[in-house]
Amino acid sequence: MERLKFSIITPNKNSGRFLDETIRSVVSQKESGVDLEYIVIDGGSTDDSLKIIRRYEQDISQIISEPDRGPVSAINKGLRLASGEIVAWLNADDRYHPGALKRVAQLMTTHPGKALCFGACRIIDEEGREIRRGITRFKEAFFPFSSRFTIQCLNYISQPAMFFRCSALDAAGYLREDMVAAWDYDLTLRLWRQGGAVHVPGDPLADFRWHPGSISARRFTIQFQEEFNAAARDAGNLAPQTWIHRIVRWGIVSAYMLMAASRGKGRPR
């Protein structure tokens, strides 16, 4: 079986609180025999991030610490340095599950024509406890029906559990740096045109950490507007997928607003 090389990028700026766990979740993938290039792009942190990064220096292929224009700029910087066949980024507050990259390698080897793959992804809180299970199950309900039509109707792929071929990225282009929050979904739609996607079955590949400082917490209305705009660009303004996405968007935004309003009354689940 072909041994695929992975390039994983972690953008970071002042995320020292979660960074150690994130880095450990990446470098531990080598224990399952994965060929891993790990690139950490730090935006000039002023907390203890660099101390944490240096602790794992022997396991990190490239470390860059310099001011940048934000997370999208940092990710693009890392993507341009990547030399692996399979590429992904893991934000500095998220984490991979043990053996995740090995499972991805096995699937992408048996599906050489697919541009990307995705799997299940839990949502966790600041303490690492699973939350918002309803949202996770809602997304997973679309996995068996995954298609370009479906992904244009709704973004059911969680970015930490998405991996793509470097060749597909070269054809699709890099992340749009003029977007605020939905650059991952925009890229997913463009990657899909390069060969489609395949689902990684089984247990979650990754955890997405929701906390008050995360982009999805602070800018979810902008995020879902940008997702709608991306779907309309990809499918066409008058396509049925665009109309479906418009309806779904309002439902999701309403649900998020209710959760935001109830945040002070208890932990959202």
Residues 47-87: pLDDT tens digits? 999 999 999 999 999 999 999 989 999 999 999 999 999 99
Q: Do 177 and 189 lie in a common domain? A: yes
Residues 229-262: pLDDT tens digits? 999 999 999 999 999 999 988 777 676 667 666 6
Tell me the average pLDDT of the chain: 92
Which residue is listed with tokens 């053996």?
A: 99
Check residue 108 and give its pLDDT: 98
pLDDT of residue 30 exceeding 60, the answer is yes
Q: Do 148 and 254 lie in a common domain? A: yes
Range of the domain at 170: 111-269
Q: Do 144 and 88 lie in a common domain? A: no
Residues 188-225: pLDDT tens digits? 999 999 999 999 999 999 999 997 766 555 567 889 99
Q: At what angle do helices 220-235 and 240-261 cross, to 10 degrees?
A: 170
Continuous segment of H or E residues that includes residue 185 = helix 183-192
pLDDT of residue 267 exceeding 50, the answer is no
pLDDT of residue 180 exceeding 70, the answer is yes
Residues 139-158: pLDDT tens digits? 999 999 999 999 999 999 99
| Cβ 92 vs Cβ 18: under 8 Å | yes
Q: Do 91 and 163 lie in a common domain? A: no
Q: Do 148 and 258 lie in a common domain? A: yes
Number of domains in the chain: 2
Q: Do 154 and 95 lie in a common domain? A: no
Q: Do 99 and 141 lie in a common domain? A: no
Q: Parallel, antiparallel, or unpaired for β 86-89 and 162-165?
A: antiparallel
CATH number of residue 14's parent domain? 3.90.550.10
pTM recorded for the entire structure: 0.92
Check residue 254 and give its pLDDT: 72
Q: Do 141 and 257 lie in a common domain? A: yes
